[in-house]
Amino acid sequence: MNRAMQTADAIIADLDLDHGHEVYEWLQEINNPPEWEGAPAEEIDRHFKEANTRSMEEMWDGLPGGESFRAFHERVVSGLAETLDSHGIHPMDPDHRHLWTVDDPDRRVIIIAHAGTNAVILGHLLGLDPVPWEWERFRQPHTGVSRLTMIRISTGWAFSLRQLGNVAHLHPGMVTV
């Protein structure tokens, strides 16, 4: 997660925060098959294209030798729930899965991760049913900034997507997908 930690350091410096970042293992990107490590990007792209032609059940199982999407989704959502809880943001109840209780509505939480992890987080906080292609549903460029705010709805709070994958902080020649 080196790139995510470098991004966190830049954000901490830019916001002039007086504390460093916290690293959570649950934020790690989905674990691809180990033999992909160091493989050419074209080869990995080919594997992903082939994977998208499999049955839905096979897609949930993940790539052979890699982490299943089920396990990845569970890891990210469980870690997110625990982290938000520690910051005073709690699900209201199972009957209102889109609404949350918030101890301090002015508190900001910044989460920095890679595309697949970010996509699972966005889908969960927006109350969407998971799909094993989250990173395609919320396609974002590298170092893109997505922003959610909380709005008061009925007796709770709901997350509202205000920005997806904004790269205004980058020179156009630096934008990659």
What does the pLDDT look like over 108-156, one tens digit per residue? 898 989 889 999 999 999 999 999 988 889 988 888 889 999 999 999 9
Interval 8-57: pLDDT, tens: 787 888 888 877 678 899 999 999 889 888 889 888 888 888 888 999 89
Residue found by looking up tokens 């997660």 in the block: 1
Number of structural domains (the chain) is 1
DSSP 134-146: HHHHT---TT-EE
At 176, the pLDDT band (50, 70, 90 cuts) reads: confident
> Residue 173 has what pLDDT?
77
Q: Would residue 115 count as lying in a domain? A: yes
Dmax over CA atoms of the chain, in Å, equals 51
> Residue 15 has what pLDDT?
80
> Residue 70 has what pLDDT?
94
177 pLDDT more than 90: no
Three-state secondary structure call for residue 91 = strand
Three-state secondary structure call for residue 155 = coil
> Residue 37 has what pLDDT?
86
In contact, 59 and 104? CB cutoff 8 Å? no
Q: Would residue 25 count as lying in a domain? A: yes
Q: Would residue 48 count as lying in a domain? A: no
> Residue 16 has what pLDDT?
81
Range of the domain at 26: 2-31+67-174
> Residue 52 has what pLDDT?
86
Q: Would residue 55 count as lying in a domain? A: no
Instruction: Check: pTM over 0.95? Answer yes or no.
Output: no
CA 97 – CA 157 distance, rounded (Å): 11
Q: Would residue 93 count as lying in a domain? A: yes
